[in-house]
Amino acid sequence: MNPIFLALDFPTWCEAKQFIDQNELEGVPVKVGMELFYREGPKVIEQLKLREHPIFLDLKLHDIPTTVMRAMRNLSALEVDYVNVHALGGSDMIKRAKEGLQTSSQGTKEPKLLAVTILTSFDDQMLQRDLTLEGTVEDQVIHFAKLAYGSGADGVVCSVHESEKIKRVTSQSFETVTPGIRLTDDQSDDQKRIATPSFAKSQKVDKIVIGRSITKAENPKLAYNLALKEWKYGFTN
C-alpha cells in the first residue's frame, strides 16, 4: 500500500466514482468520511473494495464503551484497512473498540484501530477556550497518544508536527496517520496544523491524508503523483 490516502470528500458515490474514473486513480488508498458513508452506507465500501482500493473508514466513533464495541463489530465485517475512534472517549472505550474488532474478525482481516488525538482544526486558544483543556495542543496530543498506545490502539491520527515525538514516547511501530497535508502554495482552509508530504515523511509519519489539494486541483492525477513523488524523493520537480 502506498502511504497517501485520497480523501473522498464527496456527497455521493456517483460523484466519487466519477472523480476516480476521470482522473485514472483506480486502486489508490482512499479515506471515506462521514459525509460519504452516511449517505451511501456499506455499499460504498463494497464498491471501493471491488476496485481494490485500500480503505481508511474515518467515522471517529465516540460513545459509551459498549456501544463503540458493538459498532466496531459491525464495521469489522466490512474488512477495511483502518477505522478510528476519538481518544477523548477514554481508555476503556478504546479497549472495547479493539475488542469489537478482534472478536468479529476471526479468520478475516482485522482493521487497524486509530485514535484521533486533537483535531487539526484546533489551536491552543480553541483548545483552552472550547474544551477547557490546559496546556498546548502538543501537550494534549502527546497525552492522548500515550493513552491510546496503552489501551491497545494501533496508532493515532495527529498532525505532522507531533508525529516524531509520539513515536519517541510510544513505539516506532505505533502508526501516525496525518491529515492537514497540502501541496506547496495551496491554501490551508480550515486546518490549523498543516504540512507538505516531504515534511511529513521527515517527521516519521506513516500515512498521510490529502483531500482538496488533489480533488480541487486542475489536474488531480498529476497532483496525486506529485504528492507521491514528493513523499518518496523530497521534491516535485
Nearest to 177 by CA among 152, 197, 153, 157: 157
DSSP class of residue 187 equals -
DSSP H or E stretch at residue 98: helix 91-104
Q: Could you report how far apart the first and last alpha carbons of the chain are, in Å?
A: 24
3-state secondary structure of 57: strand
3-state secondary structure of 6: strand
Task: Report the C-alpha gap between 169 and 146 in whole angstroms.
Answer: 7
CA torsion sign for 34, 38, 40, 44 is positive
Q: Of residues 17, 31, 43, 60, which has the active-site annotation?
A: 60
Residue 48: Cβ-neighbour burial (10 angstroms; 0-12, 13-18, 19+): buried
Q: Please give the sequence-ordered ranges of beta strands (E in DSSP) within 62-181, or none if there are none.
A: 82-86, 112-116, 155-157, 175-178
> What's the distance, CA 167 to chain centroid?
17
60 counts as catalytic: yes
User: Which cell numbers in the block locate residue 215?
Assistant: 480533488
| Active-site annotation, residues | 60
